[in-house]
Chain A
Amino acid sequence: MTMTFLTITVTSFNLGVFSVTVALLIAGFKGFMVLSYFMHLKYENLLLRILVGMIFVLFALIVLITFIDYAYR
């Protein structure tokens, strides 16, 4: 099972013109796979999963607010 995840997550980008969004999406997916399976989050109790989710929401908010601030300077 873990081998499958490995092959899924090893995507080679060496073909240039990918925009940031796509790269980030794929990285995000990879990260999610690592988190769920390798880090066992899928099988952990609900509290941990909620906490991890919250941290990412927090980070997204920080990024959003910073960009809004920067955009209107």
Chain B
Amino acid sequence: MIMSEKHHVEEHRDDDAKKLGMWLFIFTELLLFGGLFLVYSIYRAKFPADFHAGSLELSVTIGAINTIVLLFSSMTVAMALTAIQKGNKKLSLIMISITLLMAFVFLVNKYFEWGHKFEMGLYPGSALMQHLDRGFLLYFSLYFFMTGLHALHIIVGMVLLFICLFKVKSGNVHTENYTFLENGALYWHLVDLIWIFLFPLMYLIS
């Protein structure tokens, strides 16, 4: 066997593959939430009145605020990426920080929303919930599960973005090597995308 020359690490870098990898993962996430939306659709078709009544318990205002918050955060993370592509490290750091702040605001709102439900005795496994009619039970179970899973994704996204923050700060992610931030931003956009569908389907049932 002929020994090949020792290659410098950089030559094996494959940015397109990294991006494709993230997209493939995003596909699995889409199908995961897609499946949940499917469950939701079937049961909403089956219990339209209950689903409507259930949605009245939710605060459209807080939901709308959260939608705006996430859309704005998607914009700031996209701006962070553009900034680093142009070599503007400081702006990138500021934008990522704003994104993280928005994410935190979203979670705080979620805390208030869920807290209100818990106070009413409405939480998974509660006595009140166990005695609900079928349609209501389905609606609130789906509500907790889907918004909960989404909130979990927000937390994961925040962790990712924090890592991005440190990598940009240390110079690991820079104008010639920004795929990590790009993928982090993609994940964040996915989280926003899911919420874009979650909001009208949960909160705005006429």
Q: Is B94 an interface residue (CB 8 A)?
A: no
Residue pair B75, A6 in contact (C-beta under 8 Å): yes
Residue pair A18, B27 in contact (C-beta under 8 Å): no
Q: Is B41 an interface residue (CB 8 A)?
A: yes
Q: Is B78 an interface residue (CB 8 A)?
A: yes
In the complex, which residue of chain A has the Cβ closest to the Cβ of B68?
A10
Residue pair A10, B67 in contact (C-beta under 8 Å): yes
Residue pair A34, B74 in contact (C-beta under 8 Å): yes
Interface string of A17-52 (1 = CB under 8 A from B): 111000110110011001101110000000110011
Q: How far is the CA of A58 from the CA of B68 in the complex (A)?
A: 29
Q: A27-B197, A30-B196 are in contact. Are A14 and B79 (CB under 8 A)?
A: no
Q: From residue 106 to 145 of chain B, which have CB atoms closer than 8 A to chain A?
A: none
Q: How far is the CA of A48 from the CA of B26 in the complex (A)?
A: 12
In the complex, which residue of chain A has the Cβ closest to the Cβ of B188?
A38
Q: Within the complex, which residue of B27, B60, B78, B192 is in contact with A51, where a contact is CB–CB below 8 Å?
A: B27
Q: Is B193 an interface residue (CB 8 A)?
A: yes
Q: From residue 62 to 105 of chain B, which have CB atoms closer than 8 A to chain A?
A: 64, 67-68, 71-72, 74-75, 78-79
Interface string of B3-42 (1 = CB under 8 A from A): 0000000000000000110010001001100100010011
Q: Main SS of the interface on chain B?
A: helix
Q: Which residues of B contact A72 (CB under 8 A)?
A: none
Residue pair A35, B200 in contact (C-beta under 8 Å): no
Q: Which residues of A contact B164 (CB under 8 A)?
A: none
Residue pair B200, A24 in contact (C-beta under 8 Å): yes
Interface string of A56-69 (1 = CB under 8 A from B): 00110011001100
In the complex, which residue of chain B has the Cβ closest to the Cβ of A51?
B23
In the complex, which residue of chain A has the Cβ closest to the Cβ of B79?
A2
Q: Within the complex, which residue of A6, A24, A31, A66 is in contact with B193, where a contact is CB–CB below 8 Å?
A: A31
In the complex, which residue of chain B has the Cβ closest to the Cβ of A34?
B193
Q: Within the complex, which residue of B42, B72, B192 is in contact with A66, where a contact is CB–CB below 8 Å?
A: B42
Q: How far is the CA of A9 from the CA of B193 in the complex (A)?
A: 12
Residue pair B196, A31 in contact (C-beta under 8 Å): yes
B147 to chain A, nearest CB (A): 16
In the complex, which residue of chain A has the Cβ closest to the Cβ of B41?
A63
Q: Which residues of A contact B189 (CB under 8 A)?
A: 34-35, 38-39
For the A-B complex with A19-B206, A38-B75, A52-B23 known, give 5 more contacts whose Cβ atoms are closer than 8 Å: A6-B71, A13-B60, A14-B60, A58-B31, A62-B34
- Which residues of A are at the interface with B, using a C-beta cutoff of 8 A? 2-3, 5-6, 9-10, 12-14, 16-19, 23-24, 26-27, 30-31, 34-35, 37-39, 47-48, 51-52, 55, 58-59, 62-63, 66-67, 70
